[in-house]
Structure 1
């Protein structure tokens, strides 16, 4: 039997059809893990075909993690494999631009359902399995956006503030259990996020962004090392440090300059 197969286990990655999620899944696959990858679009099957080149088993699940039923379906699919989850990378996320009162409320609610509700439901289910077993690693994708009041991204930034806080809180709760929790906090990254969130016509949408390969690698390595959190990119580290000592009103005004649509800016 292959030694690598004996020593590696199973990784579950959400939001894995493109971007950071796909690159996280690639890190695990290259490292010898079998992977379950989930997303709410058909591209998850294309991602699975690409990940199979690393030799491990790849199980794509097309499911909407903004709904309780979608999370239950993913958990059931993982349980059907009758294998423990060694790595959980809860990366699924959704953004939305524009001023809050101008946003479609259903789309805004879907940001909350994806980023917060679906994430905590999944972590609760798989985290309990890990704690009962006495081992496992969890990575949640937060954001440096969680440090700033997000003018013109109010709901998104608030959800990331939740994830940043939630990650560090449950990390402390799980001390001594054999389960570690890491929060990956990237800055603007070169993914489809900005197009999907209607942020292309903004300063942040047009600025140079970090490479998702680099972001995922640093997050994956931090998780494997059991670190509490990792901010990727030196500019983002500086921004997160300054955010802790800058008045909220100043931060909100600075965020407005980045995220307000250019055709609306004063």
Structure 2
């Protein structure tokens, strides 16, 4: 087995098995008003994970992208978004549920998992709408609450 970009390189050479979990986000597939760099960065994580997954698919190595939506962590505090509509509405996922979804997908060898039914519906619907409508919807969620 060859080392993929030396991601799996150890002191003794390449290992023949490993499990990697990258945290992307539902933001990786949505236009990110008020958080353009965050959304673009998560888009990179998703694309990178999918590319590496394809490169190692014939090995015992798996790489999984976890795509949670808004989760009840310190993220909103650090991003100074405590007043955003999505936080004020109280519709944040529990971190333990998100972690379990990622862990289960990683153990199963899945290439990606969207955590939470609401997030799966949101991403499915966003694929059916024009980008301008999706961007406006995301903008409303991240806008400071009145």
Per-residue deviation, 1:199: 0.8
Take 2:70 and 2:54, find their aligned partners in 1: how far apart are those partners? 28
The reply to whether residue 128 of structure 1 matches residue 14 of structure 2 is: no
State the alpha-carbon separation in 1 of the partners of residues 69 and 82 from structure 2: 16
How much is the aligned-residue C-alpha RMSD, in angstroms? 1.8
* Structure-2 change in CA distance of 1:139 and 1:262 (3 Å): same
Q: Gaps spanning 5+ residues in structure 1: where?
A: 1-122
The answer as to whether partners of 2:88 and 2:145 remain within 8 angstroms in 1 is no
Instruction: Write the distance in 2 (CA, Å) between the matches of 1:186 and 1:146.
Output: 10
Q: TM-score, normalised by structure 1?
A: 0.50
* CA displacement at 1:239 relative to structure 2: 0.6
Partner of 2:100: 217
**How many residue pairs are counted as aligned between the two chains?**
140
CA distance in 2: counterparts of 1:262 and 1:218, whole angstroms: 30
Question: Contact (CA 8 Å) 2:64, 2:112: kept in 1 or not?
Answer: yes
Higher helix share: 1
Distance 1:198 1:124, change over 3 A: farther
Gaps of 5+ in 2: none
Query: CA deviation digits over 1:139-181, x for unaligned, max 9?
Result: 1000001111100111111111111111111100111122111
| Helix, strand or coil at the partner of 1:246 | coil
Higher relative contact order (CA 8 A, sep 6+): 2
Is 1:203 the counterpart of 2:78 in the alignment?
A: no
Who is 1:176 aligned against? 58
CA deviations on 1:186-211 (whole Å, 9 max, x unpaired) are 01111111011111111122232111
Is the Cα contact below 8 Å between 2:30 and 2:138 reproduced in 1? Answer: yes
Q: CA deviation at 1:124?
A: 4.9
C-alpha separation in 2, matches of 1:262 and 1:214: 26
TM-score of the two chains, using structure 2 as the length reference: 0.88
Deviation at 1:215, TM superposition (A): 0.6
Residue in 1 aligned with 2:72? 190
1:130-169 aligned at under 5 Å gives the runs 132-169=14-51
